[in-house]
Structure 1
């Protein structure tokens, strides 16, 4: 019978697994980017029940190669262009290792003073790195916190907006008979509707505001009209969600105009920059944050494009009291001297879960390892690769680019139409070398190529284009002539 793993056993097996991860990173480009096995193949390789006795580490280590790797979609693969990236890095993994080893449950300052204070400082570091407005710093009335995802950030922003719209009564009385409303563009993320459902507003209270067909960004005039109509109908607008870098095409909503409208109607403005926020580490890409000083809350995901492993969403509020008032619940068993003093931050009041991991460690490790210069080089490299790909597309009159591409996503299609473009996606993905996804832009089928894996180079971009170009020739040759 296996007992607790001793420190010496942990050291030995831990070294083995560090080697395994390092070897994986060295060879990930040689794997097919997606598995070819059908659904259920991984489960079929696993026993029906757990072992009656612990069976040691050797078999487990072997099963990583035999069971896990063949069933993986490799997000760190240099040919992974399907979704916005899920970067990881050596410093991030090591930070997670330390956090897991410490085993801290940082729900209160008292249960993890270092966990709390490192998190506060890291969010201030990030705010400085992105040159966010002073109102989001912990030295002001606002401050930052790590959420698990931008979806959770959207939820807590919605709850804070509800609390404000209800004059503080929402926390105790609930929604009751009030008709609260939430606003985002037609390109806004699905998490906004999900947040409205969870908060009790319901999907019927979500208003999808039309966008400019050229930029795919929210039309401020349409937002103002929707707010005015709802107020006239007796509704209570709770929150507007503007997006910097929409999931479909990376459209950027006009924050200055939207912010002024929200101030006019007294509505909470949340800005979702989950993917594109990382770009603001580069001064030349901070134009996207114009108007952010008008926002009540803002978030972006270091776990997407800033080399910090999932999960790590950075979320800031301009008025921490507005958030804490909406979320705080204080049972007797959590009362303690530090909390009662009012001199500390208890992050349990800043998010939905009570329990909190020491996620700030991996962020600390990443920021200290790379520094501003290293992170800027990382972002600029990917933007340059996307522009390289866009140049290939623009030079071929069989193709068209269907949306602006200021970051590292390019949306494009064959001029021959939806069927040809869909066939092109199927062919490139069937190679096993590259993985792209699709979207619809103004109703037309388009392919998405999102650069983000740390190991992607110019050679991968050029090879992907070569395969796409060849496949396009075959598709168009097989197409019936008009």
Structure 2
């Protein structure tokens, strides 16, 4: 494809994306296909001869769109948002156009240095401590997701223990499964990922139980390596008591990782920075995902560390083909040492584009709008005696359940309609429905329509299931 052909078709692709974003609401929120439907519409073998790009775009409409669940739909409420904004998309396009492989500073200095700037910008926007800045002993790095951030934190924590004996990490029943997976990847065996009890109502980690487990393990000759505290759990957005957990970690020399994948970006609003209580004093690492609620399209998760040395010591392997004068000088950051893979895309361009386009005011407005809409939905639920509301909903997620109908049947009924999409969780033995707000196009009208659809579906469920 020549540059002129790229110009021609690139304009068509941008028009296609703009038309899609402008009309996404006309599609059913959840894909209406059955397993195998999309594959059946595609050729079994690759084309022998090249095809005009118009045919690719035609198949986007004919084959791909019917099989897409529309995460940018204003009535997509099933999971935490995966915002895709115009400036984020354009930043990703610029990244693809440059085709940079930014594994070390020397392979593209701008890729590395822009990243150091935008992660410092974001740390400032979120009110994070100065030692998370890249001009300090710590620093930030863009990962693909909070799962990779957790894996890096676990690797660094295990390396810092300086022992090959049995080591443990500590999570709660509400901690994201990425921590258990990180334990498996790093070689921890069954039982080395210890689950701490949570408060039965708030679902926050119990510091007293954490302390007891740690003391039991130390007495048995085990080395506690890491504790993960969560700010905004995936299930219900529960918030662990970071300060109390941090004090215990400090006493025992344990790495404290903060998983704030969803809720961390809420701290862009100064009045919400209470969620960071204890982070500055105790966190060894902290992760949040701009690609969830901060208008930056996937994938873009940021990991900060208070001290980069244990991470680099754990991950740095320098083959001869990567040796260069800049790296040898010690004056540059080589982000290959801050992640598991060697290669890395120029992800900073989309976060840079988003921050510059929206500014702090625009980002705060987006977060506050999501919270206000969640409050609106919560008020509707609370006013209906046929439903129960979980009182804790400081962000954009509302958990609720019907009292006179089967929750899962109600969810399946509204999801099958194509008009909205919810998910569920369990608290103890109770099934709760989750409505997560955060798409840029969502308005009060969409929230009200979702509530009306839920009420109507509940009335249609047969009496035998009540």
TM-score normalised over the length of structure 1: 0.95
The alignment partner of 1:445 has SS state of strand
Unmatched 5+ stretches in structure 2: none
Other-structure match for 2:221: 234
Deviation track 1:382-407 (CA, whole Å, cap 9, x = no partner) reads 00000000000000111111351000
Deviation of 1:61 after TM superposition, in Å, equals 1.2
**2:443 is the alignment partner of 1:457:** yes
Is the contact made by 1:215 and 1:403 (CA closer than 8 Å) also made in structure 2? no
Deviation track 1:394-423 (CA, whole Å, cap 9, x = no partner) reads 00111111351000000100123xx61122
Is the contact made by 1:196 and 1:203 (CA closer than 8 Å) also made in structure 2? no
Distance in 2 (CA, whole Å) between partners of 1:249 and 1:203 is 26
Distance in 2 (CA, whole Å) between partners of 1:123 and 1:203 is 36
Distance in 2 (CA, whole Å) between partners of 1:24 and 1:253 is 39
**2:187 is the alignment partner of 1:200:** yes
Deviation of 1:480 after TM superposition, in Å, equals 6.9
- Which of 220, 241, 244 is residue 207 of structure 2 equivalent to? 220
Deviation track 1:261-295 (CA, whole Å, cap 9, x = no partner) reads 00011000000000001111011111110000110
Other-structure match for 1:287: 274
Other-structure match for 1:323: 311
1:313-352 maps to which residues of 2 (within 5 A)?
Answer: 313-352=301-340
Is the contact made by 1:87 and 1:303 (CA closer than 8 Å) also made in structure 2? yes
**2:20 is the alignment partner of 1:24:** yes
Aligned pair count reads 465
Deviation track 1:235-285 (CA, whole Å, cap 9, x = no partner) reads 111110000000000000000000000001100000000000111101111
Distance in 2 (CA, whole Å) between partners of 1:470 and 1:358 is 47
The alignment partner of 1:145 has SS state of strand
1:238-387 maps to which residues of 2 (within 5 A)?
Answer: 238-293=225-280, 294-387=282-375
Is the contact made by 2:382 and 2:389 (CA closer than 8 Å) also made in structure 1? yes
Is the contact made by 2:172 and 2:197 (CA closer than 8 Å) also made in structure 1? yes
Is the contact made by 2:406 and 2:465 (CA closer than 8 Å) also made in structure 1? no
**2:435 is the alignment partner of 1:435:** no
Deviation of 1:214 after TM superposition, in Å, equals 1.4
Distance in 2 (CA, whole Å) between partners of 1:124 and 1:134 is 9
The alignment partner of 2:303 has SS state of strand
Other-structure match for 1:171: none
Is the contact made by 1:108 and 1:345 (CA closer than 8 Å) also made in structure 2? yes
Distance in 2 (CA, whole Å) between partners of 1:109 and 1:403 is 48
- Which of 135, 143, 150 is residue 147 of structure 1 equivalent to? 143
Distance in 2 (CA, whole Å) between partners of 1:437 and 1:317 is 33
Distance in 2 (CA, whole Å) between partners of 1:252 and 1:132 is 17
Deviation of 1:215 after TM superposition, in Å, equals 0.8
Distance in 2 (CA, whole Å) between partners of 1:472 and 1:51 is 50
The alignment partner of 2:185 has SS state of helix
The alignment partner of 2:49 has SS state of coil
Unmatched 5+ stretches in structure 1: 168-174
Deviation of 1:437 after TM superposition, in Å, equals 0.5
Distance in 2 (CA, whole Å) between partners of 1:136 and 1:234 is 33
Distance in 2 (CA, whole Å) between partners of 1:401 and 1:326 is 45
The alignment partner of 1:91 has SS state of helix
Distance in 2 (CA, whole Å) between partners of 1:140 and 1:55 is 52
Deviation of 1:202 after TM superposition, in Å, equals 2.6
Distance in 1 (CA, whole Å) between partners of 2:5 and 2:47 is 20
Is the contact made by 1:409 and 1:450 (CA closer than 8 Å) also made in structure 2? yes
Distance in 1 (CA, whole Å) between partners of 2:54 and 2:286 is 46
The CA RMSD over aligned residues, in Å, is 1.1
TM-score normalised over the length of structure 2: 0.98
Deviation track 1:297-327 (CA, whole Å, cap 9, x = no partner) reads 0000000110101110010000011211111
